[in-house]
Amino acid sequence: MLPKPGDYGRAKRRLEAALEPVPDSTDAVVESFLTSISDLLDLHSSCWHESDPASGSPVYGAVLCEPPGSFMESMQYEFRRRDVNTFADLTRDRGGVASIFLTTGERPARSLRFREMIEPTGVCDELRVWLKDAFGVWATVVAFTRRPMSEADVRFVADVAPTVTRAVRATTAAQWRTSVAPSDDPGPSVLILDAADHVLAADATARRRLALLPDRQPTGIPGVIAYLAARARFDGEIGTATARMRTPDGRWFLLDASAMDDAAGNVAVVMQPAAPSAVLTQVLRSYGLSLREREIAALLAHGQSAKSIASALVISPWTVQDHIKAIYRKTGIGARSDLASLAAGAGWN
């Protein structure tokens, strides 16, 4: 049965109630979102990924029920056999919500992944949601439904997506602030993947670091590395792919994947501790600080005075003070020493 106009409003109110107060994890936020739309959209299953807010690369994944296909299969349609509604497309779409049924003009079999991966399971449509705002890309959600999505369905999801995005960003800020990252070897480590994402070679540090990353795929490598490798191989515009991520025990790493100059499809992945300044920027994004506010907060954390910041940025001291007030308000801290503690949590000693 198709939803009635009032059903959307009731679902939105249920979702807002479920997210007040904000749940304590991204998984809990997304599960509340999916619960609120399950009956409305006749949900079959779903998968979702937390993202590196700066690059949008997925760094951790989870599923609900049994969604069609697999993460590794979906990478083929994302990069190698470019299909409709790729996440790269959604980054350029201001709405960030798309249905295969509607994108294909109500002919979903025109989509490769629908025809080959989704339709054989009995699913009627796939709805992709990119949870993004002015401060970054926080998560992606893929909902598989038992009926085709309508324009009203997509408008409803686009309407509630900012609420879900704010909740995900809030949980991210809380998680990133709760623990100080343990130290790690300072240098880079390297592993080489073959075309099927099996590890051809790796140094000892790379193997140890791999064990710290979540979301293992059948080949034994984490999902984030599988994504970066696929993008490096098949995205002709770049040939490289990068993500910053935090491990479950609090370590921050920078991952760079680069296609090798051979015909075998091999990829080199360099993994190293992320620079403290970059980590602090990630944390400050989660608090909703603007680009200028993040810039000033980093200088404050480095011990610079408001006067020296004004001189360095060629702005007035009064403007700097206004930004500092906004930084303290958004982060919930009350003094420069608290900001320094936040920076220390990012590994900035």
Q: What's the average model confidence in pLDDT over 80-96? A: 79
Provide the percentage of residues in the chain whose pLDDT is more than 90: 55
Candidate from 11-25, 160-174, 226-240 with smallest mean pLDDT: 226-240
Q: How far apart are CA 301 and CA 281, in angstroms?
A: 11
Residues 6+ apart with CB under 8 A from 271: 188, 189, 190, 191, 206, 209, 210, 253, 254, 255, 256
Confidence of residue 180 (pLDDT cuts 50, 70, 90): low
Provide the percentage of residues in the chain whose pLDDT is more than 70: 91
Q: Write down the pLDDT at residue 83.
A: 92
Q: Write down the pLDDT at residue 177.
A: 67
Candidate from 130-134, 278-282, 288-292 with smallest mean pLDDT: 278-282
Q: Write down the pLDDT at residue 349.
A: 42
Domains of the chain: 5-177 (3.30.450.40), 189-274 (3.30.450.20), 281-345 (1.10.10.10)
For the cut 50, the answer to whether the pLDDT of residue 348 exceeds it is: no
Mean pLDDT of the chain: 88
Confidence of residue 239 (pLDDT cuts 50, 70, 90): low
Does the predicted TM-score (pTM) go above 0.75? yes
For the cut 90, the answer to whether the pLDDT of residue 145 exceeds it is: yes
Confidence of residue 22 (pLDDT cuts 50, 70, 90): confident
Question: Exposed, middle or buried by CB within 10 Å (0-12, 13-18, 19+), for 19?
Answer: buried
Candidate from 37-51, 129-143, 199-213, 320-334 with smallest mean pLDDT: 320-334
> Among 121-130, 174-183, 276-285, which range has the highest average pLDDT?
121-130
The C-alpha angle 166, 322, 337, rounded to 5 degrees, equals 80
* pLDDT digits 0-9 by tens, 293-332: 999 988 888 888 888 999 888 899 899 999 999 998 888 8
Q: What's the average model confidence in pLDDT over 197-215? A: 92
For the cut 70, the answer to whether the pLDDT of residue 96 exceeds it is: yes
* pLDDT digits 0-9 by tens, 37-78: 999 999 999 999 999 998 888 998 899 999 999 888 898 898
DSSP character at residue 117: I
> Which among 149, 165, 15 has a CA at the least distance from the CA of 85?
149
Q: Write down the pLDDT at residue 68.
A: 95
Residues 6+ apart with CB under 8 A from 242: 55, 57, 228, 254, 255, 256, 257
- The helix or strand, by DSSP H or E, that contains position 144, with its residue range, turns out to be strand 136-145
| Axis-axis angle for helices 26-41, 151-177 (nearest 10) | 170
Q: What's the average model confidence in pLDDT over 121-149? A: 95
Residue scoring higher pLDDT (108 or 91): 108
Q: How far apart are CA 2 and CA 288, in angstroms?
A: 37
Residue scoring higher pLDDT (276 or 62): 62
Residue scoring higher pLDDT (164 or 180): 164
Q: Write down the pLDDT at residue 345.
A: 56
The C-alpha angle 183, 184, 190, rounded to 5 degrees, equals 165
For the cut 90, the answer to whether the pLDDT of residue 15 exceeds it is: yes
